[in-house]
Structure 1
Amino acid sequence: MSAGQERMVLAVHVRGLDGMCVGCRAWWSQLVPYPYWQVDWATSWQARTTTTRFLGGVG
């Protein structure tokens, strides 16, 4: 691989704040159905926490 090819690959795969590049994220989003179970789980726990906080810890 030449230095030009390496630079081209690195220019396309610029890391975001989470360490994943925009191009890889776009391809990954095509492979993973949304919402997936992790999102369902997180949403459920967030709702429970909000409800508990609203009720003042009474559960």
Structure 2
Amino acid sequence: MKDDQEQAILSVHVRGLDGMCVGCRAWWSRLTPYPCWQVDWATSRQAQTITARFLESER
């Protein structure tokens, strides 16, 4: 996946006023507590990318 796809997920899957994920409700009509698994996945991918870039710059 590309960074822009992860950003798209993070921009849609945000916390609603009721504490539920807005993206899950809009796309799948699911009441999912925030952070949903899509947010967890996207943030972990971003962390992996940042860590890899940092470690490569240390060499």
Q: Which has the larger radius of gyration?
A: 1
TM-score (norm 1): 0.43
TM-score (norm 2): 0.43
